[in-house]
Structure 1
Amino acid sequence: MTSLSDLPLRDNLVGQQPYGAPQDPVPVSLNVNENTHPIPDEVVEDIVQSLARAVRGVNRYPDREFLELRESLAGYLGHGLTAEQLWAANGSNEVLQQILQAFGGPGRSLLSFSPTYSMYPLLAAGTDTAWIDVPRPADYVLTPELVTAAIAEHAPDIVILCGPNNPTGTVLDREVIRAASEASAGIVIVDEAYQEFDAETESAVALLPGRPRLLVSRTMSKAFAFAGVRLGYLAADAAVVDALRLVRLPYHLSALTQAAATAALRHSGAMLGAVAEIRSERDRLDAALTELGYQVHPSGSNFLLVGGFADPAATFEALRAQGILIRNLSIPGHLRITAGTREETSAVIDAIAALGPGGARA
């Protein structure tokens, strides 16, 4: 049987592993930062009706420019944005891939600060963009001075800042974004996949005026509980959107995706109704694990990075055996846990407590 090593892969893909969080139909799934709360019934009804209408026209290609959806996204974000400043694709990963296709590639580079979202180096490799990995400080918090120094040293073509950062939950200060935008001659992306869970920090969308090379990536997968629909989007200067239209595949957003997302945005208040409850469960999980002696890093997201596990892999497997799936990201001593429903949060707290200090069985 042929293996990967037998194929003429590009050199920069040799030895790479595809992205993949564990998938397991367990009762308590808290490993990929999904919104664990279901979509309200009245919203489901509207989405289903919208899909039914869309299906009647799927013998034709969808609107290639998905203008109704872009207008809805602009209305949701506010800040005076217009449809011409919005873009969307099949998840924010595809949005980021299109950015790298347009502004990265051979001879160009992408810089970010680790630990951060594990897809960034994979997207860089897939577009033959050099990956520059700058370590975060011990508390994971970026400062204007750190970011400015890294940009000056490496002169990257693209910088990506994740805020709140995955997997640490660290909030991204607006002064860091301003510093990166001023220091960089290239593209600066702010990845705001978890922005709606941060009750304190204003979106980087507010910084777009006067910064034509600043891009803000968002998703409907998390706070909107729309992970299965696959809808990511971008707010940026209209010229950036034109650049992405050069690399997107024709008709890349299906009529069904457009209909579902547009309907969901009509009910943004209801769709985001669980966000406050998820924050509350995150804070309850934080307090409980802190009381058990673990180091819980501050988070503006729907998950926590938790340190103090003597053997994270063993703890991960012990919880999995009990039907609880969290995330081992190979950060020494740490595991990442998504805040779930009250019942799910209670289950993971009780299970970790039962394992004893450091996650080892008592």
Structure 2
Amino acid sequence: MDRKTPVLVTGGAGYIGSHAVLALLDAGWPVAVIDDLSTGFRFAVPPGVPFYRGDVADADLLARIFEEQRIGAVMHFAGSVVVPESVADPLKYYDNNTAKSRALIAAVVAAGVPHMIFSSTAATYGMPDVSPVREDTPQHPINPYGWSKLMTERMLADTAAAHPLNYCALRYFNVAGADPQARSGQSTAGATHLLKVACEAATGKRSHVDVFGTDYATPDGTGVRDYIHVSDLAEAHVLALEALIAEPARSLTMNCGYGRGFSVREVLDAVDRVTGGTIERRHGPRRAGDPDSLVADPALIRATLPWRPRHADLERIVSHALQWERVLGEHLGGESPALRARPAA
């Protein structure tokens, strides 16, 4: 198979998916996108990229895309990602993240597409007893979101054992930041990610930031997380695809993080330093199920792929996120003719 096989990106109008599209295009890969735009944005798909508005469980649509675009690999980002919502509405998550992934995998197999990359999560580990977390750390999810992703990992493993398909499951830690060229970023209203919330507060879109818990077993009492720049994460997907094509008999499961954690307070302090302002912080009780610290051990991905993060600096992550926050209104205020260059199929 040609190294630059066309790639279908599901959820390619969303936060991480749109950055994967950019990384693929920058590396010379032909790309097509499917997204139902329930949380994604049409403006996030670059002009000229074939775009299909639809559901990843629509077998007829997928068969048409695979044929029309001669798809040779799938990167699967489509799904629901809000942990508290998964607790309140678990069946939505088992439908969007598990049942629809099953339908997508079935379509991949039926079309003979040989490679698939799956957007998984550190939430599959639950509340691990160790930090940093390795890939062989026991997986005990504590919410439906984590379970829905772990089930899909299992489906991929079983399918790869039975069919000519290899896959890579990438378990993300805390994804943050935005494209350094401000071509994309996190756009969803009401987002719950700390850095997105902090950037909204810093740009006057929120009055304050809630800090949930100050009594964790960490140096400053607030929760510690491993923040990975979304563009570094997107590049990891491109390198993972190259690895799958190079060794068709091998599948991979790897953590995506830097191996360095920052506390809530450290993140907010970084935003203050970059802006020269002060975000109002309101302290409240812990949220159920939040571990003290969740940091990746990135040894496996660094040993397996030629992945060398370019943006592993907290203030750089903050700067790119703030830059996107400042231009986001231009996109949300209306799409230009160029952004509408290719209508939904």
* TM-score using structure 2 length: 0.29
Larger radius of gyration: 1
* TM-score using structure 1 length: 0.28
